[in-house]
Amino acid sequence: MQFNVATLLVEPVGTNRSYAIDGVHESTEFNGNVNFTKTDVGILVEAQFGATASLECARCVGFYTENLKIRFEEEYLPERDITSGVLRETNEESYWINPNHILDIQPAIAEYTALEIPLKPLCSSKCLGLCTTCGTNLNSSGCECEANSGHPAFVALREKWASQSATKSNSSNSH
């Protein structure tokens, strides 16, 4: 998503340009609009778009799509002064318009989309996940595993408690 903004950079402060945007970044489709406004030092980019991300559920490991609504405002600064042609010193904390006056909004779209993706994506709030014993997807079918068997990592602890309980009950019965 690159835009040549050379003419906008020489326009008066407050001049606007609007564009429709749509595309794909990795496995995420997006569409919406972007507005460019000339500022005293660069261009203010205001973007609002919807994105459809293909995500993997954290419980059942199945893939599903999630609709995201994304909005951002960022000021892009020119690396090269439009009138003098002098290159400016840049840093990674700002968004820059390259020396050919091309403004690329793809990195901002990728960053703001990544921020909207849930940390623990779930295909449904009622997702049952996978059986901890056999790995069956409990959303699509049941499994034959023993109910209340608990997590397999705690089998040794469960056996120790059972043996301690049996020892206590044997010692109380012998008195």
Where in the sequence is the domain holding 112, given as residue range(s)? 2-116
139 phi/psi in degrees, rounded to 5: -75, -30
Amino acid at 71: R
> According to the model, what pLDDT value does residue 58 have?
95
Residue 84 lies in a domain: yes
pLDDT value for 12: 95
One digit per residue, the tens of pLDDT, for the chain of length 175 reads: 899 999 999 999 999 999 998 888 777 788 999 999 999 989 999 999 999 989 999 999 999 999 999 999 999 999 877 666 677 776 677 788 998 899 999 899 989 999 999 999 999 999 999 988 888 999 988 888 866 556 667 777 777 777 777 776 666 665 5
Burial (Cβ within 10 Å: 0-12, 13-18, ≥19) of residue 103: buried
Q: Is the residue at 35 inside a domain?
A: yes
The whole-angstrom separation of Cα 47 and Cα 18 is 10
Q: Is residue 172 assigned to a domain?
A: no
Instruction: Answer whether residue 173 is part of any domain.
Output: no
Q: Is residue 125 situated within a structural domain?
A: no
Tokens encoding 34: 């972007």
What pLDDT shows up at residue 94?
79
Tell me whether residue 7 is in a domain: yes
pLDDT of amino acid 174: 58
Total of domains in the chain: 1
Domain assignment present for 26 = yes
Q: Does 10 reside within a domain?
A: yes
Nearest C-alpha neighbor of 9 from the set 107, 93, 84, 74: 84
